[in-house]
């Protein structure tokens, strides 16, 4: 997968909403029990039980979203020893969980540093221009709508799943879809893993189009042995909804500046007109 690092598309105003979303995601991740400190992946049983209890409380679960079937027993965060050895203690929930609200809270949860940093990188690079075009308030509403559409779209396709759905990927996929509609010719610097990392500057329609095709293939099971823990279908739904919502803004969107001097990671020769 290519890694975007910068786009040649300046903004007219400070993207405060994008910055606030990044700060909120980082803060929630650092506040998630048993997760932020486990950089090496060596979490203890106690940390894992606290994390599971936290996610069951705040993550979106497809079965809860579609059927409103709430679990009778949930992890409490404590540990104990049973007939099968040590494990997490479960009990009837001591809280009331609203499935629609859980979609919003799940948009700020991430499962690892890599999950968080990858999402925030895409949001930082592409979100600022979408916010610049939409305005702060409309962009914030757009982000939330894309996140809800992605979560419910995934839940409809996996209505009986009890696996927690977390991450800002669905909402950010909507941002990518909007960027593709509004700035398809903007140039994006990417790193391609070839031996080390090869820097290239490509049009946004190629970078984001390639990303979307991969998500669509993975969501259908192509190219991966199993769907794993990544909700590719949520990415597809979020991307398409973002494109649809941004389409009315396309006619009045000024084109990005034409980059000069740098082509595919190398400095181009200056042109002389006669």
List, for residues 64-103, the tens digit of each pLDDT value. Answer: 999 988 888 888 888 777 777 777 888 898 888 999 999 9
Q: pLDDT at position 46, please?
A: 80
What single-letter DSSP state applies at residue 92?
A: S
Flag residues of the chain having pLDDT under 50: 40, 225-227, 262-274
Beta partners for residue 263, in sequence order: 266
Q: pLDDT at position 220, please?
A: 81
User: Is-contact 2 190, C-beta < 8 A?
Assistant: yes
Q: pLDDT at position 43, please?
A: 65
Q: pLDDT at position 252, please?
A: 83
38 burial type by CB count under 10 A (0-12 exposed, 13-18 middle, 19+ buried): middle
* Gap between the Cα atoms of 6 and 223, Å rounded: 28
What single-letter DSSP state applies at residue 165?
A: B
Q: pLDDT at position 260, please?
A: 61
Coil, strand or helix at 274: coil
Tell the residue number behind the tokens 């946004």, with chain if given.
204
Q: pLDDT at position 21, please?
A: 98
* Gap between the Cα atoms of 129 and 184, Å rounded: 12
Closest alpha carbon to 105 in 60, 39, 64? 60
Q: pLDDT at position 222, please?
A: 61
Task: Tell me how crowded residue 235 is: count the other CB atoms within 10 A of its CB.
Answer: 28
């Amino acid at each position: 997968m290519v890694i975007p690092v910068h786009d040649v598309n300046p903004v007219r105003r400070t993207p405060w909403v994008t910055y606030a979303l990044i700060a909120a995601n980082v803060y929630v991740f650092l506040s998630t029990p048993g997760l932020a400190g486990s950089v090496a992946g060596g979490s203890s049983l106690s940390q894992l039980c606290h994390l599971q209890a936290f996610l069951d409380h705040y993550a979106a679960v497809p079965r809860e979203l579609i059927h409103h079937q709430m679990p009778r027993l949930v992890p409490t965060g404590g540990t104990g020893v049973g007939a099968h050895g040590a494990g997490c203690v479960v009990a009837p929930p001591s809280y009331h969980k609203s499935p629609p609200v859980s979609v919003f809270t799940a948009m700020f949860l991430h499962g690892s540093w890599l999950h968080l940093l990858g999402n925030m990188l895409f949001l930082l690079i592409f979100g600022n221009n979408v916010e610049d075009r939409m305005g702060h308030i409309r962009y914030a509403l757009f982000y939330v709508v894309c996140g809800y559409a992605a979560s419910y779209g995934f839940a409809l396709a996996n209505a009986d799943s009890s696996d927690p759905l977390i991450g800002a990927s669905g909402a950010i996929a909507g941002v990518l879809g909007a960027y593709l509609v509004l700035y398809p010719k903007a140039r994006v610097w990417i790193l391609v893993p070839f031996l080390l990392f090869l820097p290239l500057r490509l049009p946004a329609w190629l970078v984001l189009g390639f990303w979307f095709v991969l998500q669509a293939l993975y969501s259908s099971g192509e190219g991966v042995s199993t769907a794993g823990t990544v909700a590719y279908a949520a990415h597809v739904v979020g991307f398409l909804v973002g494109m649809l919502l941004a389409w009315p803004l396309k006619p009045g969107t000024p084109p990005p500046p034409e980059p000069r001097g740098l082509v595919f990671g190398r400095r181009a020769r200056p042109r002389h007109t006669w």
